[in-house]
Structures are given as C-alpha cells and as structure tokens.
Amino acid sequence: MSVVRIGLAERASGLSRPAAQRHWRGDHARLFAQLPGLVSYVQNHTVLDDRDEPLLGDPGFDIFAEVEFADEPTLDRAAASPYYRDVILADEKKLLDASRRTFLMTRRWLQTGTPHAGSYKVALFLTRKQEAV
C-alpha cells in the first residue's frame, strides 16, 4: 500500500494565478518527475473563471499536489536527496510561499476504476470556527 503526501501552498508573492499554474505545470513538473522513487505525481489545478479567479472562490491555496511513493522510507529518502534539496526546493522558491505550506500524509485506496484525462476533482476544505471560551 503506497503513501501519498498532499501538499497545499499559496503561490509565491508577485506571481499571478495563471503564471503560477503555467510554471507548476511546465518547469516544476519536469523537475519533480525526476525525483528518485516517485510512483506518481498529481497536480490539482484550480479551475479559473474569465477573470483568473477560482471558480468556486479562493480556497486559500494555489498549489494542491499529490506525490506518491511505495512506502514511507522511500518518501523519506527522496525528501532527503540532494536532488530534492538542491533542485526541487530551489524551484519551489520561485513557485510557492513555503511559510504557508501544509502537508497531509495519506494512504491511497483505489476502490474501482482509474482516473480519466480531463477529469475534475472537487475537494472542499472547511474550517470550523472555535467558540470563545
């Protein structure tokens, strides 16, 4: 059973949403695809309206990526590799605001079928306001 690290981050200051999506989909994807031990790399791009705003409102992040590895030790080795430290992290400085990044670790359980090219994924992240005590 593989492990998937989901990363959420805002785009770097000064980058428009379309520019961030282009860099992420192009240059960054080509670099990330060379990461040792990577099983799959999925980018979830926000659907933008004709004003380049998120169709369903601003979710608070621009980057929503899923990286899959065979197991946790393989992921740990990839994250500690010189390639990740020197190439991926250097490119991420151009792409995203690392100070506002969040990670989730999951295990992938594909129940039926396979995703199709051009498919949409709708992910809704809700926060609950805490009542003052």
Taking the C-alpha atoms of residue 58 and residue 35, their distance in angstroms, rounded to an integer, is 30
What is the arithmetic mean of pLDDT over 17-43? 96
Q: Where are the alpha helices (DSSP H) in 44-128?
A: 72-80, 82-83, 89-95
Task: Look at 113 and 30; give whichever has higher pLDDT.
Answer: 30
Which pLDDT belongs to residue 63? 94
Neighbours of 83 (CB within 10 A): 13
In 25-124, DSSP assigns E strands to: 38-43, 63-69, 102-107
User: Do 105 and 5 meet the contact criterion of CB atoms below 8 Å apart?
Assistant: yes
Taking the C-alpha atoms of residue 117 and residue 31, their distance in angstroms, rounded to an integer, is 21
R_g of the chain computed on alpha carbons: 16
Which pLDDT belongs to residue 121? 57
DSSP, residue by residue, 12-37? PTT--HHHHHHHIIIIIHHHHTT-TT
Among 2-6, 27-31, 66-70, 115-119, which stretch is predicted with the lowest mean pLDDT? 115-119
Taking the C-alpha atoms of residue 40 and residue 70, their distance in angstroms, rounded to an integer, is 10
The pLDDT tens digits of the residues spanning 65-112 come to: 999 999 999 999 999 999 999 999 999 999 999 998 999 888 877 666
Angle at 51 between CA 48 and CA 53, to 5 degrees: 45
